[in-house]
Structure 1
Amino acid sequence: MNTQEKFVSPKGKLLIIGGKEDRNGTKVEIKNKNEEFSPHEILKLLVSDKRDRIEVITTASSEPESMRETYTKTFKEIGFTNFGFIHLTDKDENQYFERIKHSKTIFFTGGDQNRICNEINNSSILEILRERYVNEKDFLIAGTSAGAMCMPEIIIDEAEKDEAILENDIKLASGLGLLSGFIVDTHFIHRGRFGRLAHAVMIKRECFGIGLGEDTALLIENGHKAICKGSGMVIGINAKHLGKTNTDTVKKGHPVYGENLTVHIITEGCSVDLQSGKFTAADH
């Protein structure tokens, strides 16, 4: 399915977060260095009215109770008053359908992106999420870490972290299809993931790579207009003008090379059109 063709200019918004956003029990390392740091800046974007309903989906996590405790404390600190937690499995999706249908924001926590995709793909839950995202201006789907990585049509399933990009060291899979033409990676700076995202977009050259740093997010409107929020940075990688490369011929276990990758460094207030690649600097 080509989601971009089916869902042209969705009215809803996406908030993709690089993980380790400022929240209860999380130490944001750049907090004391970045003069523009704002406490809970990213999570405050979940709703415009603190009384609006947020449903937190903890399916990606192997410790949902810990997630519930962490976000309950954080949301109360922010002043959110109307939120709940859902740990979806294929056995109980009907039980939570109405809650998801009537929430203002859906927020996917971190964990393992495959858990989210395995439970939600081809379900009535995903159908209502897509329908609302396309048609409802005030609806937001947010995700942090694995919760952000699962949103595109194509996701990074597994990847090795080596000193070289080696053939066969990355596995791509199908995501939720809320974003078409993108591949998202998270904890991008802290965990040194440039190589694996570059490899992914060299394989899928039609895709724009989005590497989200920790406590950093992109707020996406109309399916492609993105503005950066948070204390870190987002790295954009474009392989559409890739020159010399051996990605199509390299043998298993041998290093991959590529020429003319285009890279953006995106920080607070900067915006980028994820379709055209046009970059707009922040006002400050």
Structure 2
Amino acid sequence: MLEFFRKFDNKRIQNIDMNMKTEDKAVPKGKLLIIGGKEDRNGTEVKIKDKNKNFIPHEILQLLVKDKADRIEVITTASSEPESMRETYTKTFKEIGYTNFGFIHFAGNAEDEYVQRIRKSKAVFFTGGDQNRICEEIKNTGICDVLMEKYLGEKDFMIAGTSAGAMCMPEIIICEAEDDEAILENDIKLASGLELLSGCIVDTHFVHRGRFGRLAHAVMLHRECFGIGLGEDTALLIEEGKKAICKGSGMVIILSAKEIGQTNIETVEEGHPVYGENIKVHLITDGCSINLESGEFQAP
């Protein structure tokens, strides 16, 4: 995994080893499931489900484990209302038929106990809330270590996250940004995430909240990364750290500035608008797949 200094600025996160070869990286045996938020669950209305003939109830959350008796640990650290999250996912998991799940609201307490629980699990699921809270509490703890250990070494182990729970997974995360009509210099702040996903920056509620500009800004600052804009009730299931297939009723938008043309991103002054030529866009829906290293797209 790439290493980061713990200091950030709005131009670049420093100390990225741009020359690391793909073959030098460990290929994860586990899976990631990154969800754009508002996945079909108890208390959430998926607006498009009556129009989209491909809609499948609980399609995304059914991917968490193969056997309904497998252990799922739900981490609510991102949420300021963990009891509400517990109630929502308890009802939803029971609807799906899951019989073996528990909840962890880690805030620097009972770390050893939670490490042992995660070690025995088949899936760990991060709820929504604030991605910064997840990184502040989980990063550089035994919990983060055991997650990485199981993700790299355990076949079929799943780490999933919705909304903030998805945004926290890459090496570089959006920790604060504006959803304005124009991209302005100094209106985005990036930081180091949990480092589970390489070469990508993730944004969620992407279409509904109009977040194209801020993700474009992020990939213009980090052209080595793909930008993954996840729609609501939509997810990417990622295997081997790079092979991603879309699931759900909405769409995923992939942005790339790797072949950017004219741009003022390096010279623009604070408060002035950013422009960029030749930012590429892929539109991905249920069943489509993409390689998150090469950018190769495959239709269903």
Distance 2:220 2:196 in 1: 21
Q: Corresponding residue for 1:67?
A: 85
| Residues 110 and 145 in structure 1, CA contact (< 8 A), matched pair in contact too | yes
Instruction: Indicate yes or no: 2:138 matched with 1:120.
Output: yes
List aligned pairs for 1:1-284, cutoff 5 A.
2=2, 7-282=25-300
Distance 1:114 1:95 in 2: 23
Distance 1:212 1:8 in 2: 26
Q: CA deviation at 1:69?
A: 0.2
Counterpart of 1:56, as a letter, is V
Structure-2-length-normalised TM-score: 0.92
In structure 2, the gaps of 5 or more residues are 4-19
Distance 1:143 1:92 in 2: 22
Distance 1:51 1:103 in 2: 11
Distance 2:190 2:171 in 1: 10
Distance 1:91 1:10 in 2: 29
Distance 2:179 2:37 in 1: 18
Q: CA deviation at 1:145?
A: 0.2
Cα deviation code 1:186-216 (max 9, x no counterpart)? 0000000000000000001111100000000
Cα deviation code 1:201-251 (max 9, x no counterpart)? 000111110000000000000000000000000000011111110000000
The runs of at least 4 consecutive aligned structure 1 residues that moved more than 3 Å come to 3-7
Q: CA deviation at 1:92?
A: 2.1
In structure 1, the gaps of 5 or more residues are none
Q: CA deviation at 1:94?
A: 1.5
Q: CA deviation at 1:112?
A: 0.1
Distance 1:278 1:95 in 2: 42
Distance 2:291 2:201 in 1: 15
Distance 1:172 1:97 in 2: 28
| Residues 247 and 256 in structure 1, CA contact (< 8 A), matched pair in contact too | yes
Counterpart of 2:259, as a letter, is H
**What is the aligned residue count?**
282
* RMSD value, Cα: 1.1
